[in-house]
Amino acid sequence: MNRAKQDQEGKLKGIIPRGGMEKRPGQIITVFSSKGGVGKTFVSINLAVSLGQKTGGKVVLVDLDLDFGSAALSLNIIAPCTIWDLVTEIPGLDLEIMENYLVNHRSGIKLLAVNPQQQGSGAINREDIKTVLEILRSGFDFILLDMPSRISEPLEPAFQAANYLFLVTTPEIAALRNIKSCLNKVNCLKNLSAVTCIILNKADFRSELKPGDVEKNLNCRLYGVLPLEQRLASSSLNQGIPVVLLRPRSRISRGFQDLAQRLVVQEKETVFPGNI
Ligand SMILES: Nc1ncnc2c1ncn2[C@@H]1O[C@H](COP(=O)(O)OP(=O)(O)O)[C@@H](O)[C@H]1O
Ligand SMILES: [Mg+2]
C-alpha cells in the first residue's frame, strides 16, 4: 500500500475514537426500497462487512424484514435467538442483555436476526424498535437496518432514527417510479433527519438506462453504483458468504468498498470539518 493510501486508511480508522475520547453514538444506515428483489439485503450485508473492514469499528446488521428476513441465511448463520425473542426482554433491556441476542459472523460484524417461522408469534411495536435502536446506537459504530419492502407503523422509528437512508433501485423504469413514490412516502414521515442516498444496484452496460439516465430521471446524483454480477451474487447467496469476502477484488466488491469509503469520509467531515 502506498503512503498516501496508508495515511488515508489511518485517518478513516481514526473516525472511531479509541480510549480517552467520549464515544459518539453509532450511525444508523437504513436500507430501503418499496420494491422487493432490488438488493436491499445484499447491499446491507456487503456494506456492513465493508464498513467493518474499512474502519475496524463495531458493526451490527439488524434484519428488520420481520416476517420474511433472509439476512441470516445469506450469512450462513443459524441464529439461536432473534429479535422476536429479544423484545420479550423489554423494558429491562440493556446493551449487555442485547449482546446475548446478537450472533457473531466471521467477518467481525454481528447480526440481530429474524426467523421467518416465528412470524406472528407476538407483536413488535414502534416503542420496541425505538428501544432496540437506541441501545444499539450506544454500543456500535454502525447499525445497518435491512428493511422489508413496505413502511409499517412499528418500523417508522427505523426511518426516524436513521442518519442515512439508502434507497436502493435498479435501472428499470418501474423501479425508478417506485423510488419516487418511496421518496414521497418517506417524506410524509415526521421527524426525519436522515441524509437520503440513492444507490443504483444491478447496473449493467447492456441496460437501456445508464447511471446518467437514472440521475436525470430522478433529478439527483447517485450516491453509489453497484454492477450487475449475476453469477457472483448467486454463488455468494448459495455459499452464504458475502461477496466482499468471497471475491474482494471483483468489480462489485470494489463498488461496496467505494461506498463504505465515501460514507466514512463523509462522516469524518461531519465530525471534524476541514480535518481530512
Ligand atoms: N448487483 C447484483 N448483481 C446480481 N444479482 C444481485 C445483485 N444484487 C442483488 N442481487 C440478487 O438479487 C436477488 C434479490 O436480492 P435481495 O438482496 O434479496 O433483494 P431485497 O432484499 O431487496 O428483496 C438475490 O438473489 C441477490 O443475490
Ligand atoms: Mg431483503
List, for residues 244-263, the tens digit of each pLDDT value: 999 999 999 999 999 999 99
Confidence of residue 117 (pLDDT cuts 50, 70, 90): confident
Confidence of residue 190 (pLDDT cuts 50, 70, 90): confident
Nearest atom (ligand 1) to Cα of 227:
1
Q: How far is CA 4 from CA 1, 9, 13, 128, in A?
A: 8, 9, 14, 45
C-alpha span between 147 and 22 (Å, rounded) = 30
Determine the CATH number of domain 27-271. Answer: 3.40.50.300
What is the pTM assigned to this prediction?
A: 0.91
pLDDT at 22 over 70: no
Percent of the chain with pLDDT over 90: 76
pLDDT at 119 over 80: no
- Please report which ligand is nearest the Cα atom of 37: 1
Instruction: List the grid coordinates of 129.
Output: 424498535
Take atom 13 of ligand 1 and give the residue whose Cα is closest. 37
Instruction: List the grid coordinates of 3.
Output: 503512503
- Please report which ligand is nearest the Cα atom of 33: 1
pLDDT for the residue numbered 118: 74
pLDDT at 28 over 60: yes
Residues 6 or more apart whose CB falls under 8 angstroms from that of 90 comprise 127, 128, 131, 132
- Please report which ligand is nearest the Cα atom of 148: 2
Confidence of residue 34 (pLDDT cuts 50, 70, 90): very high
How confident is the model over 135-143, as a mean pLDDT?
97
Nearest atom (ligand 1) to Cα of 43:
17
Q: Dihedrals φ, ψ of 112, to 5°?
A: -100, 110
Query: What rounded mean pLDDT belongs to the chain?
Result: 89
Contact 263, 272 (CB under 8 A): no
| Helix, coil or strand: residue 61 | strand
DSSP 34: S
Take atom 23 of ligand 1 and give the residue whose Cα is closest. 37
Residues 6 or more apart whose CB falls under 8 angstroms from that of 65 comprise 40, 41, 71, 114, 146, 147, 148
Q: Which of 1-15, 30-44, 110-124 ranks highest by mean pLDDT?
A: 30-44
pLDDT for the residue numbered 255: 97
* Ligand 1 binding site (Cβ under 6 Å of any ligand atom): 33, 36-42, 201-202, 226, 228-230, 233-234, 237, 252
pLDDT for the residue numbered 115: 84
Strand 103-104 relative to strand 110-112, pairing: antiparallel
Q: How far is CA 91 from CA 40, 81, 157, 261, in A?
A: 30, 18, 17, 37
Task: Encode pLDDT of 42-74 as tens digits.
Answer: 999 999 999 999 999 999 999 999 989 999 999
Q: Report the residue among 42, 46, 70, 149 best suited for mutation to probe ligand 1: largest number of ligand atoms under 8 A from its CB.
A: 42
pLDDT for the residue numbered 18: 47
Task: Encode pLDDT of 207-234 as tens digits.
Answer: 999 999 999 999 999 999 999 999 999 9
Nearest atom (ligand 1) to Cα of 252:
1
How confident is the model over 37-44, as a mean pLDDT?
97
The domain segmentation of the chain, as residue ranges, is 27-271
Strand 195-203 relative to strand 164-169, pairing: parallel
Nearest atom (ligand 1) to Cα of 44:
17
CB atoms under 10 Å from CB of 215, counted, come to 15
Distance (angstroms) between ligand 1 centre and the Cα of 237 equals 9
Distance (angstroms) between ligand 2 centre and the Cα of 162 equals 18
More confident residue, 19 or 24: 24
Contact 114, 83 (CB under 8 A): yes
Task: Encode pLDDT of 165-180 as tens digits.
Answer: 999 999 999 999 999 9
Instruction: List the grid coordinates of 236.
Output: 455468494
Rg (CA), the chain: 18
- Please report which ligand is nearest the Cα atom of 45: 1
